[in-house]
Structure 1
Amino acid sequence: MLQTGRGNGDNPPPGTSSTGAELLIVDEADRLKTAGLEQLRDHHDRTGIGVILIGMPGIEKRLARYPQLYSRVGFIHHYKPLSIDEQAHVLDRKWPHLGLGASDDFATTEAIAAITRITSGNFRLITRLVDQIERVLEINQITTVTKEVVEAARENLIIGVM
């Protein structure tokens, strides 16, 4: 029986179960050479396991040059930078232990503005910067995040030209 990756309700396709699907997630897929991409395609073909490729903008143009792989691409999604409100929400909800004060507190507003300016809404960079902020707080035995703490954390990261 030929299976196309779509279940008929009786038997789940290979690589899936009745409770979900198995996925292979490849970060920085844009760094893979042709042989690596071919291995991923072959693995998908043999197992039916779904593959998610995460890469820098332009990866879709590179994949388009490999029709054997590109014909299996279901969709491409470009993540946009987080808005200022989304960044504030992430900082407020995900990292309450940072010691950010009330949102109307000048030091907090200034610190969030510095984080926003430095990261330009890049979620991965926000995560790296917050990790570094935590280190600066711990090393210096500080309990409140200020603009100066954010700048000190930024100086310890390699994040490109500012």
Structure 2
Amino acid sequence: MYPSGAKRTGNIHELSEECIQALTGTGWVILVDEAELLPYRALEVLRRIHDRSGVAIVLAGMPRLLINLRGSRGEFAQLYSRVGMCLNLETHKDKSEQEDFNRILGSLLADGDEDSLTQPELAEAFFRCSKGNYRRMFKLARGVVRASAIGDQGLSVKLVESYAQMLIH
């Protein structure tokens, strides 16, 4: 996304200054996925943007990300000093995985009401058929809701299982 009037070309200093000016005071959060793939220079630009604009930055990535932030010999102290928290989601995943899955699923089903998941076996069918994968769950929920509306039928375990067979794995 480019803020109104922001430049799209220039050297790295000019572009980062544009970002800093556009982001200052917005209260925005910058989310960077697969951040372990960023080179040191890009991480430094993000640090500078954070320092000067005050925006929060969330870097999501594989364990290698921490090594990239520290440096292989700890040489990136200034960069690493900005790390506020490191969270390994794998260690926390089992605590709330089913609850999170059901909450998101409920928001995707009838009227966006999470309470529409009154049948526990329906939630179990979605979880089993999507193998706990959120992207697959989105596709499955979208298709099941559409098929339910077209066939003028309610949501059922059988419908979930039938539609799941049509999805590409």
Coarse TM-score class (shorter-chain normalised): 0.5 to 0.7
Q: Which residue of 1 aligns with 2:58?
A: 52
The alignment's C-alpha RMSD in Å is 3.6
What's the CA shift for 1:41?
A: 1.6
1:78 paired residue number: 88
1:6 aligned residue: none
Cα distance in 1 between the residues matched to 2:67 and 2:162 = 37
Q: Counterpart amino acid of 2:157? A: T
The one-character-per-residue Cα deviations of 1:10-53 (angstroms, maximum 9, x if unpaired) are: xxxx9347xxx333222332232223212212222333332221
Distance 1:127 1:97 in 2: 19
Which structure 2 residue ranges, 5 or more long, are not aligned?
1-22
**3-state DSSP class of the match of 1:51?**
strand
Alpha-carbon contact 2:108-2:142 (below 8 Å) kept: no
Task: Say if 1:39 and 1:112 are closer, same or farther in 2 by CA, change over 3 A.
Answer: same
Flag the 1:48–1:95 CA change in 2: closer, same or farther, 3 A.
closer
1:61 positional shift: 3.4
Q: Which has the higher contact order (CA 8 A, sep 6+)?
A: 1
* Matched positions, count: 132
2:141 to 112, 133, 138: 133
TM-score by length of 1: 0.57
Q: How does 1:31-42 map to 2 (within 5 A)?
A: 31-42=37-48
Contact 2:109/2:145 (CA < 8 Å) preserved in 1? no
| Correspondences of 1:151-162 after superposition (within 5 Å) | 152-153=163-164, 156=167
The normalised TM-score by structure 2 is: 0.56
Instruction: Please state which structure has a larger fraction of its residues in helix.
Output: 2
Structure 1 residues 75-132: Cα deviation after superposition (integer angstroms, max 9, x where no partner):
122333234344334433x13318x6642xxxx60x4223334444xxxx32552333
Q: Distance in 2 between matches of 1:16 and 1:46?
A: 10
The runs of at least 4 aligned residues of structure 1 exceeding 6 Å deviation read none
| Distance in 2 (alpha carbons) for counterparts of 1:25 and 1:101 | 31
Kindly provide the amino acid, as one letter, of the partner of residue 96 in structure 1.
L
* Rounded Cα–Cα distance in structure 2 between residues aligned with 1:139 and 1:102: 19
> Which deviations, in whole Å up to 9, do the C-alpha atoms of 1:43-71 show, x marking residues without a partner?
22333332221223453233222333111
